[in-house]
């Protein structure tokens, strides 16, 4: 077999199913920890915001903690850029270990940083620095793990195995939410506000240490080894933009629609249920927890389906469905006071979106040659995610404040229509994959 730069690939003995499974678990476990830590910040902000931002009322404190959360989003494209280059030069295993190591430091930093009453203005400054570190880590995690999982999967099961990436992403969110519910039931509000909010960050740091140890023992992917040994050029940013502008634009466009819909249907939806539909906070939390669990379970099904019918079909299902369904379904959610109805409508939106999220990793990895694959996957993804996904809640609230809340539904539909257009013109990556090793 000959690789993308015309160099013969050395034959290698087939990997066992156990070896592949170990790689999939190790590659995806860090993603779970990364997203657990990321969402733990948002979940417990209600309790630690006064510790770092004592000035002003509760709303002002939450706004300041939310601003720090946004800083992490801004840092993600830089993390994707740096970690993508590192993964293409030093290897997928090294990048995976580094990303989870940085997240461990970030979680431990939040857990141990004294509050404003102890060190004054240095407390919020340190929090900002820590969130930048976590943003760099999370930005780099996606490209490295998406690339590694896609490369370590067999050709006929890449969609199935790479869908594990979003399973662990949603699982991290659910674990953070579950820990919040547990601590709320076993601790007093005073203890949670005083010191209990530090517990999830200690847990995150300990989990990251375990995953770091697992990842240090992972096998490097053959795609990276073959690219390195073939003498292929080292990945550079300008190389990506000059030689792969179409693929970069494709990933940016698909991610714009996918990440906007994801944050609209998940993170913002919980607030939408309270602020627009009129459900209580507890009811909204219960609805979203159940919907997210079903959403998580749907990922392998759609990943498996993409291995049978192709990635384009599931992408068209996702973006075509989101384009058509977002306006009427969100309008219906806004007007209902029935928990089962709201739950069913949200699950419908998430099942549509599963056509994208289940193949998000593999369809991007299959577009690039090995020597620049991690950077190609990570950078346009992180940029589009920061612009469209990170701003989704702000844009939704701006529409609501202007008295034009349905304008947000239209906005999501339009961006998904753009992504659908890209999917329709996309060459089937399952058939024309640039991942040559099996």
Specify the pLDDT at position 64.
66
Tokens of 215: 């990842």
Whether the per-residue pLDDT at 197 is higher than 80: the answer is yes
pLDDT digits (tens, 9 = 90+) for 318-350: 999 999 999 999 999 999 999 999 999 999 999
Q: Phi-psi category of 32—alpha, beta or left, where left has phi over 0 and alpha has psi -120 to 50?
A: alpha
Domain ranges of the chain: 17-425
Report the alpha-carbon distance of residue 434 to residue 370 in Å, rounded.
Answer: 8
CB atoms within 10 A of CB 54: 13
Phi, psi of 220 (to 5 degrees): -70, 150
Report the pLDDT averaged over residues 253-274.
Answer: 91
Which residues are registered as beta bridge partners of 253? none
Specify the pLDDT at position 157.
87
Indicate the range of 39-43, 166-170, 198-202 predicted with least confidence.
39-43
| 430, 366 contact by CB (below 8 A) | yes
Report the pLDDT averaged over residues 52-58.
Answer: 70
Whether the per-residue pLDDT at 42 is higher than 90: the answer is no
pLDDT digits (tens, 9 = 90+) for 291-313: 999 999 999 999 999 999 999 99
pTM for the full predicted model? 0.84
Tokens of 324: 């058509």
| 237, 81 contact by CB (below 8 A) | yes
Specify the pLDDT at position 136.
86
CATH fold for domain 17-425:
Growth Hormone; Chain: A; (1.20.1250)
225 confidence band (pLDDT: 50, 70, 90): confident
Place of tokens 């257009």: 421
**Please, what is the average pLDDT of the chain?**
85
Specify the pLDDT at position 307.
94
Cα-based distances in Å from 26 to 33, 92, 240: 11, 12, 28
| 266, 288 contact by CB (below 8 A) | yes
CB within 8 Å of 349: residues ≥ 6 apart: 261, 265, 322, 325, 326, 329, 330
Specify the pLDDT at position 410.
97
Report the alpha-carbon distance of residue 146 to residue 19 in Å, rounded.
Answer: 18
69 confidence band (pLDDT: 50, 70, 90): low
Tokens of 62: 């939450």
Specify the pLDDT at position 66.
64
Question: Which of 328, 298, 374 lies closest to 143 in space, CA to CA?
Answer: 374
More confident residue, 5 or 252: 252
């Amino acid at each position: 077999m000959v690789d993308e730069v015309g160099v013969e690939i050395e034959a290698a003995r087939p990997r066992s199913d156990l070896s592949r499974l170990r790689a999939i678990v190790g590659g995806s476990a860090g993603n779970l920890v990364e997203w657990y830590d990321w969402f733990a910040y948002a979940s417990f902000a209600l309790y630690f915001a006064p510790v770092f931002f004592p000035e002003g009322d509760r709303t002002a404190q939450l706004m300041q903690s939310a601003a720090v959360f946004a800083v992490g989003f801004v840092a993600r494209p830089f993390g994707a850029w740096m970690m993508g280059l590192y993964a293409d030069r030093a290897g997928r295993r090294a990048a995976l270990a580094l990303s989870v190591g940085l997240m461990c430091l970030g979680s431990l930093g939040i857990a141990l940083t004294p509050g404003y009453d102890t060190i004054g203005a240095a407390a919020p400054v340190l929090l900002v620095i820590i969130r930048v570190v976590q943003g760099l880590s999370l930005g780099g995690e996606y490209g490295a793990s998406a690339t590694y999982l896609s490369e370590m999967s067999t050709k006929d099961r890449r969609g199935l195995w790479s869908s594990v990436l979003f399973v662990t992403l949603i699982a991290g969110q659910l674990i953070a939410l579950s820990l919040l519910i547990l601590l709320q039931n076993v601790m007093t509000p005073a203890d949670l506000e005083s010191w209990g909010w530090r517990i999830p960050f200690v847990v995150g740091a300990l989990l990251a240490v375990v995953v770091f140890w697992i990842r240090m023992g992972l096998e490097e992917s053959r795609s990276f080894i073959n690219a390195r040994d073939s003498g292929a050029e080292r990945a550079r940013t300008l190389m990506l933009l000059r030689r792969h502008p179409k693929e970069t634009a494709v990933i940016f466009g698909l991610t714009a629609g996918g990440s906007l819909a994801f944050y609209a249907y998940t993170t913002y939806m919980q607030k939408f249920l309270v602020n627009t539909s009129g459900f209580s906070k507890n009811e909204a939390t219960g609805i979203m927890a159940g919907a997210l669990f079903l959403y998580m379970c749907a990922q392998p099904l759609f990943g498996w389906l993409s291995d049978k019918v192709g990635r384009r079909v599931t992408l068209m299902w996702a973006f075509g469905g989101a384009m058509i369904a977002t306006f009427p379904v969100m309008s219906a959610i806004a007007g209902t006071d029935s928990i089962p109805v709201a739950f069913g409508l949200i699950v419908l939106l998430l099942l549509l979106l599963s056509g994208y999220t289940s193949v998000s990793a593999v369809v991007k990895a299959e577009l690039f040659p090995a020597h620049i694959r991690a950077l190609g996957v990570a950078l346009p993804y992180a940029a589009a995610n920061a612009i469209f996904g990170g701003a989704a809640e702000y844009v939704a609230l701006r529409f609501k404040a202007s008295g034009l809340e349905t304008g947000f539904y239209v906005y999501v539909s339009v961006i998904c229509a753009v992504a659908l257009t890209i999917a329709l013109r996309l060459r089937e990556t399952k058939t024309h994959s640039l991942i040559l090793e099996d």
